[in-house]
Structure 1
Amino acid sequence: MNKSKKVKVSEKRDFAAVKYMNAVLDFLPERADKIIKMRFGVLDGYSTTLEGIGKKYNITRERVRQIIREAIAKIKKKGDKNILLIEKEIKFAIEKSNGIIKEEKLLNNLSQNVKTQGAIKFFLKVINGVEFRVGGLEIEKSFYLKDFNFEQWNKCKDIAKNVLMERKSAISSEEVIKEISSIDSTIKKDVILDYLDVCKEIKINNFGKWGMIDWSDINPKGAREKAYLIMKEYGKPLHFTKVAEFIDKHGLSKKKSHPQTVHNELIKDKRFVLVGRGVYALSEWGYKRGTVKDVLDDIFKQSGKPLSKDEILNKVLASRKVKKSTIMINLNNFFVRVDRNRYTVKK
């Protein structure tokens, strides 16, 4: 069969959904049985397209849809104890997520086996008490229990958006829960993160912080934004090779980061300041671009008076990772000593 017309599901753990599915389909004609198994990917771990099934049986895509639709209707009408067993498992998994869960997360929580996930998708079509929400502008593709309170979900989502837009920065799960529950006490603390997990506009980043999906803190694009997020989260100057390493470590890039590419982007962006050999800091931390002489000029300008050698060294080393000897060379070459231990600008 043409693998290009199939969609691979991720491999993980197993439970007995495939066995139950085989039992449920047992009364169907052989062709209908095979078509359903091909469509849901329980034969070889691939979901075969309608076109692929149609070519195999020399029928149209619409006819394939009809066969599947009619078979599911018969299965629902007939009823089967195996369906009830799987229904119990699925409902329990959704209940653990407070009544609503993303499709992908539900599948992964129930099983990490490719064929089993296909069987679960089949059972989600035939069980009662579980509804599917097609993804839209505000919500991900999700499954929810019939009694799920969407009014409460909307309130939670709207409050979270307002909090984030007011903060204008990503915040931790603890802060999200605290803010939302303090604004509306009718929203239980234990449901908040599950409710936000299905929101399309609000996401959690790889550092466990929530924000709007279009924020660079949440969905960084390119090496510069990824490097900025790494620097901000680590909160200290880093060598460009470490920045590249941490981009990969925290899963911010699908491809391996190249240190030199990261270095080039750091050089171009004014948010980053070179403070040592290959070591960068963020300008928002108070670091300024320039040579050691530029730093010394700025220190004396702000001071307005002569400074001792120790004062100068401490101030420079607070903003540059350089050798003390380098600082002293610049002091002696470009500034003047006014007594045994103090320096000032040349007149």
Structure 2
Amino acid sequence: MEKIDFSPYSIIKDGLKKLKDKESKVVTERFGLGTKKKTLAAIGGDLDLSRERIRQIEKDALKKLSLYLVSSHNEKTKKLLNILESESGILHKKSAEKMLLKDSANENDTNALNLIMSIMSEVEEIERDDHIHDSWILATIPRKEVASILKEWADYLNKNNTPAKIDVLLEAHPHHLKHKISFLSALPKVSKKIIQNYQGDLGLSSWPEFNPKNVRDKIYYVLRKNQAPMHFAEIGRAIQNENFDGKKVVLATIHNELIADPRFILIGRGIYALSEWGYQSGTVRDIIRAVLKKASGAMTLADITKEVSKQRHVRKNTILINLQTNKEFKKLSTDKYILSDQQ
């Protein structure tokens, strides 16, 4: 999405010039515009005014700024509104900042953007609670219902203890269908307790397969997402790219966890797969033994290599050496191999 082509801070700075000195000071310090944010009480102490009087000054000042935006910057505020509408009418504040502000934007622009959004009549603020992050929502959407919907979904997931697609949740809660599907589909992005993964499944943020906290679970997550074996260095890069919690992961730690956790199987030089994909633990010799044991009769080197290669990324020569140097494998006069105890 294209970022906004104006500075929210510049707009607000111009608007502050239209206010009385006390009004400008209160707004500037309440929203942290070029200075640290202050509480109503702190500002009241500076101006020798009561907390309630500062609240009234702030309210009057924001009303004036709102009129200023409509009269002088209507097209720019419309652009913000259009972006919110394109996001189905609800947007996590942090997501709004990332989506709308240029990389060169500073804290003043961030705080000014939040100020502008808060005084737009078409937009309302949702304050964070146990179920939802602080967000912006179109005034035409009943904001109280957002937390209610998310709570019902979280309770359903917790009770069933299994991931679900959004259509399953809606089938279980048909009364939610009075809202647009696009809006309902956007709700996991603002939820604290529900996460939508790369497969479109919804799960609880407390589930490690959706929100991994330790290195082992992060490895499991990226392998499942990749759906194919990966080199441990590639796994490390994938974890960093996911940016689960912003913590850096040391390759040596990843390697140690891959070795220690039975969910991960070494199938080649530094290449790991998930055991749930059908990969077996053990050495190349163990895999050859399992292949021959499963076979209905003797096998050629080519057939053995084909089957072993489904489990391990090894050269044909490595398989041949194992067949020739281990007494548990026997070569027949037909150039085929069997287990020695199968004679």
Smaller-chain TM-score range?
0.7 to 0.9
1:123 paired residue among 97, 116, 134: 116
Where does the alignment leave 5 or more consecutive residues of structure 1 unmatched?
1-11
Contact 1:300 1:306 (C-alpha < 8 Å) held by counterparts: yes
Q: 1:337 aligns with which of 321, 327, 331?
A: 331
Within 2, Cα distance between the matches of 1:297 and 1:328?
13
C-alpha deviation, 1:208, in angstroms: 6.8
Deviations 1:217-269 (A, max 9, x none): 33222222121122112222222122112222343463443322211110111
TM-score normalized by the length of structure 2? 0.78
Amino acid in the other structure paired with 1:72: E
Deviation, structure 1 residue 25: 3.3
Taking a change above 3 Å as real, the CA distance of residues 271 and 64 of structure 1, as seen in their structure-2 partners, is farther
1:15 matched to 2:6? The reply is yes
Deviation at 1:277, TM superposition (A): 2.0
Q: Partners of 2:268 and 2:303 in 1: how far apart?
A: 20
Establish whether residue 168 from structure 1 lines up as the match of residue 167 from structure 2.
no
Structure 2 residue 92 is matched with structure 1 residue 102? yes
Helix, strand or coil for the counterpart of 1:307?
coil
Gaps of 5+ in 2: none
Check the 8 A contact 1:161/1:212 in 2, yes or no. Answer: no
CA contact (8 A) 2:137 2:143 kept: no
Q: Which residue of 1 aligns with 2:136?
A: 143
- Percentage identity across paired residues of the two chains: 26
What residue number does 1:30 align with?
21
Query: Aligned runs of 1:1-347 on 2, under 5 Å?
Result: 15=6, 17-26=8-17, 28-43=19-34, 47-50=36-39, 54=42, 59=45, 66=52, 68-75=54-61, 81-84=67-70, 85=74, 88-112=78-102, 113-114=105-106, 115-149=108-142, 153=146, 154-155=148-149, 158=152, 162=156, 168-169=162-163, 176=166, 179=168, 184=174, 186-205=178-197, 210-252=202-244, 254-303=246-295, 305-332=297-324, 333-334=326-327, 335-347=329-341
Post-superposition Cα deviations, 1:45-98, rounded to whole Å, max 9, x if no partner, equal x543449x94xx893799685564222222356576313337655544433333
Letter paired with 2:282: G
Shift of the alpha carbon at 1:137?
A: 1.8
Superposition CA RMSD, Å: 3.7
**Residues 261, 288 of structure 1: alpha-carbon distance in 2 compared, 3 angstrom cutoff:** same
> Which stretch shows the higher mean deviation, 114-123 or 265-274?
114-123
Aligned AA (1:82): Y
Provide closer, same or farther for how the CA distance between residues 273 and 109 of structure 1 changes in structure 2, counting only shifts above 3 A. Answer: closer
Distance in 2 (alpha carbons) for counterparts of 1:127 and 1:62: 30
Determine the C-alpha separation between the residues in 1 that align with 2:11 and 2:109: 10
Paired residue total? 326
Q: Is the 8 A contact 1:206 1:251 kept in 2?
A: no
